[in-house]
A and B are shown apart, each in its own frame.
Chain A
Amino acid sequence: MQAAIELDNLRFGWTAETPLLSIERFKVDRDERLFLQGESGSGKSTLLNLVGGVLEPNAGEIRLLDMGLHSLSKTRRDAFRADHIGFIFQMFNLLPYLNVLDNVTLPCSFSRNRRDRAVLRDGSVEGAAQRLLGHLELNDPALLKRPVTELSMGQQQRVAVARALIGAPEILIADEPTSALDVSNRDRFISLLLQECEVLETTLLFVSHDPALRSHFDRVENLHHLNQTEANV
């Protein structure tokens, strides 16, 4: 099976004396839906910034879709992230001054690849946004022009999913996306998210501290076990 995300002998710390992450080997296969459990302060967000190419490891290698991030310049890494990775965060991750449609189509303004893929599949970027929102049960056409601040938390998270998936990026990284939702909304949200990833054949790296979500995923890893820093060991 080809790997979507691979980490080899990854070492990272804000200072050399205090390493935060030390991962010998970590791999997420293509089309896999992986649940990465990690407590608050365990280095989840740092790991996501490393995988997203925003941070550079002190040592080791990160490969995404068989491309070594270390071989890319900062600008190329930014472009690679824009083209191939979608992100969902826990809350307030939509731009309050844009309406629903503009929030969803935003990644296509920064990535030509994703724009081309959206147009190829749905005829237009707006068409792709509408299709995704429809799949996520946000069918009302009047909703498209509404400010995102008028939506419920559950609706906002579904808009965030549509934004992360527009232009069919190969990898979707979700960082605690359900922490602001109640149980019924949470289960509904995860079910829609997994369903959409299935349709688009997207690799999902789902990071959360909540063990109750483990059952929804193909595989479960624990960051505490993966991280081999002295503090952890």
Chain B
Amino acid sequence: MILLRLTARSLWHRRTTALLTLLTIGVSVMLLLGVEKVRTETRTSFANTLSGTDLIVGARSGQIQLLLYSIFRMGDATSNISWQSYQLVAKHRQVAWTVPISLGDSHKGYRVLGTNQDYFKHYKYGNRIPLSFEQGRQFDALYDVVLGADVAEKLGYKLGSKVVVAHGIGNASFSKHEDKPFTVVGILERTGTPVDQTLHLSLEALEAIHIDWKAGVRIPGTNVSAEEAAKMQLQPKQITAFLVGVKSKVATFHLQRSINNYRKEPMLAILPGVALQQLWDMVGIAEKALMLVSALVVVAGLVGMLTVILTSLNERRRELAILRSVGARAWQILLLLTLESALLTLLGVGFGILLLYLGILLAQPVLASQIGVFIPLSALTFYQWQLLGVVVVCGTLTGLIPGYRAYRYSVADGMTIRV
């Protein structure tokens, strides 16, 4: 107890260097925990984005690419699939439901998704949670649009607001469908998934706004008004992808194989869980590299602490000699210096946790809007506590180096310093 008190008082006496050491360790611990937290929360966030869907079907490309553009709104589809092929699968006897997805347009940087009302019925996230409305209802009329929570909040839209969809997915597209504005009829509850950053409208509406367009530009000389378009045949010819729910899980693989072997159109059916795992396998290397860098930063922090303590040791030989003269044993001197490192590391870890939560609080909105990952202010996981435990043990063991040197000094110096 006396040693702990002496350590604390001694550190307080040297508080400027102690605080700098704390800052070094704190920042390195924050980085380590931050990388780990972003990693786990990203995984959780991705895993929570879609549930209850057995297959995702799109044009033949890569598993990960299909998963990313259809569910996470990342990247673009290389090609579309025909409405006939979609209908063929939708009517398959093993298929319970399907949700068509059509992507390609945007509004002020947010993706526009064309679908039908089955989307609101079958799309589930988290632990099979269905979508629900914070305000309003599903789209019904042709020019109705339903907004994700972030879109409504960030752009300040309310029910009844007018929205003009832009062609393409650029943030500042010059090709806008200004002649066919949409009316906001519903705002979804926040889900913590890319749904929050999506504008939802019907497939027919997407057809309507593109009826006088071809290859990304308006056909010269044609001008079909919103009302005229509404009266036209608006069944889509192509869609980007569709989600499938099967009647029996046993049939999933059979159906997947059938779709992948379909000769009339090259399609790809993927199991969302398998594709996600493939994605993690791919990014796992980058994650490990990041963790390694963070661990090295922690090592640098601990080496910094070691340097500070070793540098101060020569100046503290008189202090150690005084302690010896009042009865401190040589092993207690070793313990004193080791305790100092342990205390500094422990406080540094505490400071690091504080910095982490402060960082999350500040970065939360940016991360959510920029990469669609919501990092909650949740408690540390067992693994994260284990990481911190390793840091504290390493810090304490580091203290054995100056501790042993102090022990040698105190054995050689005794109660008077020999220099």
Contact = CB atoms under 8 A, between A and B. Distances in A.
B177 interface: no
A136 to B, nearest CB: 17
A97 B329 contact: no
B80 to A, nearest CB: 74
A78 interface: yes
B416 A89 contact: yes
Contacts of B330: 74, 78
A109 B323 CA distance: 11
Given A45-B416, A89-B416, A175-B416, A96 B13 contact: yes
A127 B242 CA distance: 85
A180 interface: no
Given A54-B415, A96-B13, A78 B327 contact: yes
Given A54-B324, A107-B326, A49 B415 contact: yes
Q: At the interface, is chain A mostly helix, strand, loop or mixed?
A: helix
A61 B209 CA distance: 107
A82 interface: yes
B319 interface: yes
B125 to A, nearest CB: 57
Interface residues of B, number: 23
A87 interface: yes
A222 interface: no
B108 interface: no
A98 B326 CA distance: 14
A55 to B, nearest CB: 6
A48 interface: yes
Contacts of B331: 75
Contacts of A54: 324, 411, 414-415
Contacts of B322: 89, 93-95
Contacts of A190: none
Interface in A209-224: none
A110 B13 CA distance: 22
A111 interface: yes
Q: Which of B10, B325, B330, B332 gathers most chain A CB within 10 Å?
A: B325
Contacts of B411: 54
Interface in A61-101: 74-75, 78-79, 81-83, 87, 89, 92-98
Nearest to A106: B326
Contacts of B12: 97
Contact of B10 (A78, A79, A97, A163): A97
A55 B326 CA distance: 16
A38 interface: no
Interface in B4-43: 6, 9-10, 12-13
A87 B13 contact: no
Contact of A89 (B2, B6, B325, B327): B325
Contacts of A96: 13
Interface string B91-134: 00000000000000000000000000000000000000000000
A166 to B, nearest CB: 10
A68 B75 CA distance: 85
Nearest to A90: B416
B354 interface: no
A107 B331 CA distance: 16
Q: Which of A75, A89, A95, A107 gathers most chain B CB within 10 Å?
A: A95
A57 interface: no
Given A87-B415, A89-B415, A97-B13, A107 B327 contact: yes
A54 B409 CA distance: 12
A48 B325 CA distance: 11
B353 to A, nearest CB: 28
A48 B418 CA distance: 13
B318 interface: yes
A74 B327 CA distance: 12
A15 B394 CA distance: 39
A95 B329 contact: no
A75 B329 contact: yes
Nearest to B332: A110
B318 A92 contact: yes
A52 interface: yes
Contacts of B318: 92
B397 interface: no
A93 B321 CA distance: 9
Given A97-B10, A97-B12, A163 B414 contact: no
B328 interface: yes
Interface in B322-376: 322-332
B415 A78 contact: no
B9 A49 contact: no
A49 B325 CA distance: 9
Interface string B392-419: 0000000000000000000100111000
A49 B328 CA distance: 14
A140 to B, nearest CB: 22
Nearest to B329: A78
A82 B327 contact: yes
Given A75-B329, A92-B318, A97 B416 contact: no
Interface of B: 2, 6, 9-10, 12-13, 318-319, 322-332, 411, 414-416
Given A54-B415, A93-B322, A95-B323, 6 more contacts: A54-B414, A78-B330, A95-B322, A97-B10, A106-B326, A110-B327
25 contacts: A45-B416, A49-B415, A49-B416, A52-B325, A52-B414, A54-B411, A75-B329, A78-B327, A78-B328, A79-B327, A82-B326, A82-B327, A83-B327, A89-B322, A89-B415, A93-B322, A93-B325, A95-B322, A97-B9, A98-B6, A107-B326, A109-B327, A110-B327, A110-B329, A111-B327
